[in-house]
Amino acid sequence: MRRDFKRHLDSLGGLYEFSEAVMAERKLPDGVRFPVHLAMEELFVNMVHYNPTVTTDIEVTVTVGDTVTVSLVDNGGVEFDVTTKREVDIDAPLEERKPGGLGVHLVQNLVDTLEYEYQDGRGEVIFTKGSGT
């Protein structure tokens, strides 16, 4: 199922309701729904934050089969490869920690597969998470 969302943090509520409805209909367990919601938010927020002047909607598709497959398409945004490993020192002491930078790290740890394609201004992120069924 696909839905387009305005490129704004105010869309997060609708994004949650959309994906929750798709996964709840298939009675997926919380252990699947939570990381899917989190990965969707992190990826969506990245597309919003890194493209403040872009006005196109972000296309979101959620498909539930043996796995949950989520696609987010960003038309007109800058290239941002979320599959690239980021240096995040999770063992650093408090005084060396800085807010930010954890989003992609969490996505990479919580989903099963993560792909990114960028061509002619069109970026697409696809991730999967086992449906637990």
Binding site for another protein (CB under 8 A): 9-10, 12-13, 16, 30-31, 34-35, 37-38, 41-42, 45, 89-95, 97-100, 102-103, 105-106, 109-110
Nearer residue to another protein within complex by CB, 13 or 52 = 13
Nearer residue to another protein within complex by CB, 97 or 122 = 97
Nearer residue to another protein within complex by CB, 14 or 121 = 14
To another protein, the closest distance from the beta carbon of 124 in angstroms equals 21
CB neighbours of 132 closer than 8 A, spacing ≥ 6?
28, 29, 31, 32
Q: What is the DSSP string of 84-122?
A: SPP---TT--GGG--SS--HHHHHHHHSSEEEEEEETTE
To another protein, the closest distance from the beta carbon of 10 in angstroms equals 6
Q: Which of 78, 79, 67 is nearest to 39 (CA)?
A: 67
Nearer residue to another protein within complex by CB, 86 or 122 = 86
Q: Which of 4, 85, 91 is nearest to 47 (CA)?
A: 4
